[in-house]
Structure 1
Amino acid sequence: MARSNSTVGTGETLESIPLPCLQPGSAVDLSQMRGKVVVVNLWATWCGPCREEMPILQAASEQFRDRVQFVGVVTKDSASSAAGFLPAVGTTYPQLLDVDAELLNSLRIPGLPVTVILDPAGTIVKKQIGAFEADDLDSLLADLVEAS
């Protein structure tokens, strides 16, 4: 899938959609996350580019551990498929489940992977359609962390 480097206009936020945790825990409403930069990655086990991007996201989550919150959203996929896949790639950041693709539909994006980056105020500052390259993600996050 071709990558898009779309930057979103000021003021756009995520819709309020509480999503259940893949791991034990309460449902999470990503639109309420505030205080630090948040990376929300929508993915599925059946999506090849999603699977290839996962190590890049995991490495960035380790690099920016205390300064950026990473959240995966298993989209149009089953909890059992995701739970079986994540340990194999070593992904440790929290995962939410969106079987019906409510979040993806609200973003008006037709396919996966999609990564949405929020600033500390919860405003969308980036929508990446297609997989991130490691250098692009690292550079973007470094700039956002420095600015916040």
Structure 2
Amino acid sequence: MKGWRYTLGFVVLCAGLLFVLFKGFGRNPHEVPFMMKGKPAPDFGLRALDSGEKVSLADLKGRPVVINFWASWCGPCRVEHPVLEWGARQYGSQAVFLGVVFQDTDDNARGFLQQYGASFPQLVDPRSRMALDYGVAGVPETYFIDPNGIIRGKHVGPIDPQTLALRIQELSTPSAPTEAARK
């Protein structure tokens, strides 16, 4: 009788483990569940690293915006940066590109940009307040905001040229009104 309970317990445990594994496999790790999708992007007012000029999301309303959080100490950011440089040159007339320095020093960020290029504005986020507002968990992370200021998506990890092009194309297609946008 006791052996039967152990066998049943083992079968239930294995079934539970298989269920968890089944649910986890087949998903794209760059498509992290994202609670802010379809919601208004949090406004910000940050200074540009090179000029000190203030940049705010409110000033960019009416234009799609691509925001990339990065750091000089981030290896994947080094891989991704040339893609963003290409994207800013290729699609800069269709979307505003912004970089946000994440938990880094201004000097280290400037050194990184001297080495890898800086064809779009880079913003300084003191105390990571903007990153917290956007729910940044690590770098690199890229956010896509439509002309109405609604977050249309997020990409975790280094973005490739095809994904970047697709996301920018999606920003130019009208989205269904969200509950937050209707208010």
Range class of TM-score, shorter chain = 0.7 to 0.9
Given candidates 53, 66, 88, the residue that maps to 1:26 is: 53
Distance in 2 (alpha carbons) for counterparts of 1:91 and 1:103: 21
Matches within 5 A, 1:108-147: 108-145=135-172, 147=174
The CA deviation string for residues 15-66 of structure 1, in whole angstroms up to 9 with x for no partner, is: 2332111011422222542122110001000111112110001101111121
Given the superposition, is the C-alpha separation of residues 114 and 27 from structure 1 closer, same or farther in structure 2, using an over 3 Å criterion?
same
SS at structure 2 position matched to 1:141: helix
Runs of 4+, deviation exceeding 3 Å: 5-9
Partner of 2:93: 66
Q: Structure 1: where are the runs of 5+ without partners? A: none
Letter in 1 for 2:94: R
Could you say which structure has the higher helix fraction?
A: 2
Instruction: Calculate the TM-score normalised by the size of structure 2.
Output: 0.72
Q: 1:17 to 1:146 in 2, by over 3 A?
A: closer
Which residue in 1 is equivalent to 2:63? 36
- Which structure exhibits the higher relative contact order, with contacts defined as CA atoms closer than 8 Å and separated by 6 or more residues? 1
Following superposition, the deviation at residue 115 of structure 1 comes to 0.7
Q: Which amino acid aligns with 2:120?
A: Y
The alignment-based identity, stated in percent, is 32
Give the AA of the match of 2:155.
Q
The partner residue of 2:134 within 83, 107, 113 is 107
Q: Please tell me whether Structure 1 or Structure 2 has the larger radius of gyration of its CA atoms.
A: 2
For the 8 Å contact 2:144–2:167, the answer to whether it is kept is no
Cα root mean square deviation, aligned: 2.0
Higher strand share: 1
- 1:6 Cα shift? 5.0
CA deviation vs aligned residue, 1:55-85 (integer Å, no higher than 9, x gap): 0011011111211110000110011111111
Q: Following the alignment from structure 2 to structure 1, what is the Cα–Cα distance between the partners of residues 148 and 93?
A: 17
The alpha-carbon distance between structure 1 residues 37 and 16, as it changes in their structure 2 partners (threshold 3 A), is closer
Structure 2 distance, partners of 1:86, 1:64, is 20
